[in-house]
Structure 1
Amino acid sequence: MRFLPVFLDLRTGPVLLVGAGDLARAKLRLLAAAGARVRWYATDGDHDVSGLSTEDASRVELAHGDPLAAELSGVIAILCAGAGEVGPAMSARAKAVGVPVNVMDDLAHSTFIFPAIVDRGDVVIAVGTGGASPVVARRVRERIEAALPARIGDLANFIGRWRKTIHGRIPEFALRRRFWERVVDGPIGALVLGGRSSDAEAALKDIADPSAFAGASASGQADGRVTLVGAGPGDPDLLTIKALRALQDADVVFYDELVSPEILDRARRDAARIAVGRRVGKPGIGQDAINKLMIEAAKSGQRVVRLKGGDPFVFGRGGEEIEALREAGVAYSAVPGISAGLGAAAQFEVPLTFRHEALRITFLTAHKARDAQTVDWSTLTDEKMTVVVYMGMTAAPSVRAGLLAAGRSPQTPVGVFARVTRPDAQASVGTLDQLPDLVAKIDGGPAILIIGDVVAHSAPWRHQNLAQLASYFQVAAE
């Protein structure tokens, strides 16, 4: 993030506008909408403000003379639009005295940029691309415009009028935040968004005990709970809406080592984030300690998210954590996630089932050689069965040995799919007898092994065959 989004109160001092033509007038209208006092140096001498209302025009000072000699004391920002060569010179002057400056379409001479703006009164959303692509910013703004309720600004204004009153009745910050969340997400918020603010006012006045409404226990403490959330294999766009909502509501997030930073960024900014997972070969705090942390946090009134890679109930120990929470009397729920095996199948076009070819799927884990040795491989020799092995890179030689000894063909197609759904995802495909060599080609895990004829339908298999065919013809031609 190169540019930090901030919101300037443009009523605290004048804004200097330098420039002319339609570009300058567009900035003038934007500043007027924010209630700014504008000192406008029209570089072509044309101070036409006919497009503004009488009230907005009254806040525009029509300045004359050389803007490079203008008095800058008290000026809170300088904008140059359609200013030509005056823009860079004005930028140098602004930087010398520490005044924020924007020269339109000139990042080198700007200390701030203008985002694409969604304006809903008291709710303003800024979308920026660091100046790289205003078109992308506008497209994002359009999507937000389509999804955002028209009266969302009215709802913010409604809450603003009641904040001091509720603050006095609910001094605890966490409980007060929960009160407003229930207002926004419940019938009162719906009344405001539906244009019935007077009914919403009456409903809010009728709340006799705001603390009880917020969900406090008899002791006045908020009721805590734990939500097990599947983070998926890495791509934040694969999070469910329910998972995003849980992350935004969380007071504390206990996350696995394999959860990507991009997914953690979806959590509420002021939520505590505590790493509790481990990777192969590295010690962790242990499952009992994780259970204890979750239980203690929930019993202290916090909303806890246990963020787990993939799906909580697919080799994620979600069942053990649910049992611990149940025994402790802690409220809980679970949000499923995309398991890594399904993520690999989707990204690399591996149909885990295929009519007449693959009728069954088996998921197993074998992150150590001894895990592979405990598997009854004789049940996995059916050619119409796809075998998906989690955490199988280290145990790959034992996986191969077990399947071959049980009678699975050494020519069975196999794929090793690493860091699936992430930008650095990688695939290596071949046959079962080549499995350890395929793993050696992968630049680190986590990885999924997929074993079965369906791998021959995958994109990496097709690409590899095409490359081999092209190489054959090239050699033949030589």
Structure 2
Amino acid sequence: MKFLPIFLDPSAGPILLVGAGDLVRARLRLLLAAGAHVRWHATDGDFAVPGLDAAAASRIERGEVDPRTVDLSGIVAVFCASAGEIGEHVAARARSAGVPVNVMDDPAHSSFIVPAIVDRGDVVAAIGTGGASPVVARRVRERIEAALPARIGDLAAMIGRWRRSIHDHIPDLPLRRRFWERVIDGPIGEAILAGRSDEAEGSLKAIVDPSIYAGASVPGEIEGRVTLVGAGPGDPDLLTIKALRALQDADIVFYDELVTPEILDRARRDAVRVPVGRRIGKPGIGQDAINRLLIDAAKSGQRAVRLKGGDPFIFGRGGEEVEALREAGVACSVIPGITAGLGAAAEFEVPLTYRREALRITFLTAHKAHDASNVDWSALTDRKMTVVVYMGITAAAAIRSGLLEAGRSPETPVGVFARATRPDAKSVIGILDHLPALVRDVEGGPAILVIGDVVSHSAPWRNASQNSSLQTFQMAAE
């Protein structure tokens, strides 16, 4: 985040506007719409603004002196638009005086930037790109404009009017949050968004006990729950809508080591974040301790999210956690995620099945060499079977030995796909006989191993073949 979004109160004092032309008039209209009192220094002497009503025009003060010498005392902020060298001079003075300043399309002389804005009354969304691309910000704004209900600001205003009263009735923050969620997501919110504000206000007044309405069995007591959420392989854009909603509703998030910071950032800002995962070779707190944390959080009335890399039910021990929660009488649900094997297959164009060539898939985990020794490799020798191995980096040699001894061809195509869907993703392709060397070349995990003829249809294999480099690479891997 290059700039910190901050909402300015334009009624806190006068705002200085310097410049001329259509751009400065557009900025003037924006400031007036926000209720600002503006001291405008039109550098071309033209103060005409067609279409302004009398109330807005009354909040414009003409600056008749040279803006380069104007007194900045009490000024809340300075805006310069199409002001040229004069604007740069005013900006330098403002920065020296500690007054926030924006020079349009000139981040170097600005201490803040103006975002693209979605205005819904009491609901305002600001979209910025750090000054890099206003066009991208406008495109994002267009999408938000299309998605936001027209009367969402009316809903926020109604909540603002009732906020103090409900706070007095429900001092407990989690229960109060649930009250407002039920209002927003239920018939009351629907009535406001449909323009039936009187009906919505009447429904709120008719609520006898806000605590009961919020979902407590008795006032002041709420039941927590646990949601197991699949975080996917790493790219936050691959989170499901339900996963995003759960993260935004969570009071506390218990997350694995492999969950990326970008995904954690999608959780509600004030949610407590608790790391409970472990890396290869490092001790963790243990599954029993994790189960106890989840149970305790729910029984204290919190909405807990157990955020797990990939999918909770594919080598994620989600089944054990669900059983523990059920035995403890804790309500729980599961939101699936894109498992790492599918994420790697999609990113590197590996068709895990292929008509007439690959008819079956086996997913297995081989965390350590002794895990590999417990696998019945004889069941995995069919050439029409694709084998997808999770956590197989440290057991690569044992995996190769097991498959070769069982009869799988040493020429079987193999792909090692590390950190799939992340910015530092890397693929290395070759043959089964060279698997340990291939694993070393990806420079760390997490990694998925895909073993089978389908790898020869992947983008890395295709690119290597086109460059006549596959054979060279395989020789180097030896």
* Same-fold call, TM cutoff 0.5: yes
Within-5 A mapping of 1:68-83: 68-83=68-83
SS in 2 for 1:408: coil
Aligned residue number for residue 286 of structure 1:
286
Amino acid at match of 2:467: A
What is the CA-CA distance between 1:76 and the residue it aligns to?
0.2
SS in 2 for 1:389: strand
Aligned residue number for residue 475 of structure 1:
none
What is the CA-CA distance between 1:386 and the residue it aligns to?
0.5
SS in 2 for 1:35: coil
Larger displacement relative to structure 2 (319-328 or 90-99): 90-99
What is the CA-CA distance between 1:78 and the residue it aligns to?
0.6
Distance between the aligned counterparts of 2:245 and 2:284, measured in 1?
Answer: 28
What is the CA-CA distance between 1:73 and the residue it aligns to?
1.5
SS in 2 for 1:398: helix
What is the CA-CA distance between 1:221 and the residue it aligns to?
2.0
- With over 3 angstroms needed to count, the CA separation of the structure-2 counterparts of 1:325 and 1:471, relative to structure 1, is closer
SS in 2 for 1:364: strand
What is the CA-CA distance between 1:471 and the residue it aligns to?
9.9
What is the CA-CA distance between 1:203 and the residue it aligns to?
1.3
Amino acid at match of 1:226: V
Distance between the aligned counterparts of 2:434 and 2:388, measured in 1?
Answer: 17
Distance between the aligned counterparts of 1:82 and 1:432, measured in 2?
Answer: 65
Distance between the aligned counterparts of 1:129 and 1:187, measured in 2?
Answer: 37
What is the CA-CA distance between 1:470 and the residue it aligns to?
10
Aligned residue number for residue 475 of structure 2:
none
Aligned residue number for residue 185 of structure 1:
185
Cα deviation, 1:202-261, whole Å, max 9, x if unaligned, reads 111121111011122326222100000000000000000000000000000000000000
SS in 1 for 2:201: helix
Asked if 1 retains the 8 angstrom alpha-carbon contact of 2:212 and 2:219, the reply is no
Aligned residue number for residue 362 of structure 1:
362
Aligned residue number for residue 250 of structure 1:
250
What is the CA-CA distance between 1:131 and the residue it aligns to?
0.4
What is the CA-CA distance between 1:178 and the residue it aligns to?
1.1
Aligned residue number for residue 350 of structure 1:
350
Asked if 1 retains the 8 angstrom alpha-carbon contact of 2:464 and 2:470, the reply is no
Distance between the aligned counterparts of 1:142 and 1:21, measured in 2?
Answer: 26
Aligned residue number for residue 163 of structure 1:
163
Distance between the aligned counterparts of 2:120 and 2:339, measured in 1?
Answer: 39
What is the CA-CA distance between 1:49 and the residue it aligns to?
2.5
Distance between the aligned counterparts of 1:434 and 1:141, measured in 2?
Answer: 50
Aligned residue number for residue 227 of structure 1:
227
Distance between the aligned counterparts of 1:357 and 1:456, measured in 2?
Answer: 11
- With over 3 angstroms needed to count, the CA separation of the structure-2 counterparts of 1:186 and 1:6, relative to structure 1, is same
SS in 1 for 2:268: coil
Distance between the aligned counterparts of 1:298 and 1:424, measured in 2?
Answer: 36
Distance between the aligned counterparts of 2:359 and 2:469, measured in 1?
Answer: 30
Distance between the aligned counterparts of 2:429 and 2:469, measured in 1?
Answer: 16
Distance between the aligned counterparts of 1:209 and 1:12, measured in 2?
Answer: 39
Amino acid at match of 1:289: A
SS in 2 for 1:11: helix
Amino acid at match of 2:458: S
SS in 1 for 2:285: coil
Aligned residue number for residue 476 of structure 2:
none
Distance between the aligned counterparts of 2:213 and 2:471, measured in 1?
Answer: 71
Matched, 1:213 2:213: yes
Distance between the aligned counterparts of 1:177 and 1:230, measured in 2?
Answer: 25
Cα deviation, 1:170-205, whole Å, max 9, x if unaligned, reads 111221111001111111111111111111111111
Amino acid at match of 1:429: I
Distance between the aligned counterparts of 1:403 and 1:179, measured in 2?
Answer: 58
Aligned residue number for residue 6 of structure 1:
6
Amino acid at match of 2:327: E
Larger displacement relative to structure 2 (202-211 or 306-315): 202-211
Amino acid at match of 1:382: D
Distance between the aligned counterparts of 2:163 and 2:278, measured in 1?
Answer: 43
Distance between the aligned counterparts of 2:92 and 2:422, measured in 1?
Answer: 43
TM-score by length of 2: 0.97
SS in 1 for 2:429: strand
Aligned residue number for residue 387 of structure 1:
387
What is the CA-CA distance between 1:469 and the residue it aligns to?
6.3
Amino acid at match of 1:187: P
Aligned residue number for residue 174 of structure 2:
174
Amino acid at match of 1:303: R
- With over 3 angstroms needed to count, the CA separation of the structure-2 counterparts of 1:95 and 1:261, relative to structure 1, is same
Aligned residue number for residue 154 of structure 1:
154
Aligned residue number for residue 145 of structure 1:
145
Amino acid at match of 1:227: T
Distance between the aligned counterparts of 1:419 and 1:354, measured in 2?
Answer: 24
SS in 2 for 1:427: strand
Larger displacement relative to structure 2 (216-225 or 43-52): 216-225
Distance between the aligned counterparts of 1:28 and 1:194, measured in 2?
Answer: 33
- With over 3 angstroms needed to count, the CA separation of the structure-2 counterparts of 1:26 and 1:219, relative to structure 1, is closer
Aligned residue number for residue 476 of structure 1:
none
Distance between the aligned counterparts of 1:23 and 1:449, measured in 2?
Answer: 56
Amino acid at match of 2:65: G
Aligned residue number for residue 314 of structure 1:
314
Asked if 1 retains the 8 angstrom alpha-carbon contact of 2:416 and 2:427, the reply is yes
Amino acid at match of 2:101: V
Asked if 1 retains the 8 angstrom alpha-carbon contact of 2:37 and 2:59, the reply is yes
Distance between the aligned counterparts of 1:53 and 1:234, measured in 2?
Answer: 52
Cα deviation, 1:69-104, whole Å, max 9, x if unaligned, reads 212111100111111111111011111211111111
Distance between the aligned counterparts of 2:12 and 2:405, measured in 1?
Answer: 79
* Deviant stretches of 4+, over 6 Å: 469-472
Amino acid at match of 1:386: T
What is the CA-CA distance between 1:51 and the residue it aligns to?
3.0
Aligned residue number for residue 302 of structure 1:
302
- Which sections of structure 2, spanning at least 5 residues, go unmatched? 473-478
Cα deviation, 1:6-34, whole Å, max 9, x if unaligned, reads 11110111000011111111111000110
Report the number of matched residues.
Answer: 472
Amino acid at match of 1:173: L
Distance between the aligned counterparts of 1:366 and 1:157, measured in 2?
Answer: 56
Distance between the aligned counterparts of 1:250 and 1:360, measured in 2?
Answer: 38
Matched, 1:277 2:273: no
Distance between the aligned counterparts of 2:220 and 2:97, measured in 1?
Answer: 52
Distance between the aligned counterparts of 2:136 and 2:470, measured in 1?
Answer: 39
Distance between the aligned counterparts of 1:399 and 1:456, measured in 2?
Answer: 20
SS in 2 for 1:30: helix
Larger displacement relative to structure 2 (160-169 or 398-407): 160-169
Asked if 1 retains the 8 angstrom alpha-carbon contact of 2:430 and 2:470, the reply is no
TM-score by length of 1: 0.97
SS in 2 for 1:68: helix
Amino acid at match of 1:200: A
Q: CA RMSD in A?
A: 1.2
Distance between the aligned counterparts of 1:423 and 1:79, measured in 2?
Answer: 38
SS in 2 for 1:351: coil
Distance between the aligned counterparts of 2:337 and 2:103, measured in 1?
Answer: 45
Larger displacement relative to structure 2 (171-180 or 252-261): 171-180
Within-5 A mapping of 1:11-50: 11-50=11-50
SS in 2 for 1:375: coil
Aligned residue number for residue 106 of structure 1:
106
SS in 2 for 1:468: coil
- Aligned-residue sequence identity (percent) comes to 73
Amino acid at match of 1:214: A
Amino acid at match of 1:27: R
Distance between the aligned counterparts of 1:467 and 1:24, measured in 2?
Answer: 55
Amino acid at match of 2:413: P
Distance between the aligned counterparts of 1:251 and 1:400, measured in 2?
Answer: 45
Distance between the aligned counterparts of 2:49 and 2:418, measured in 1?
Answer: 61
Amino acid at match of 2:236: P
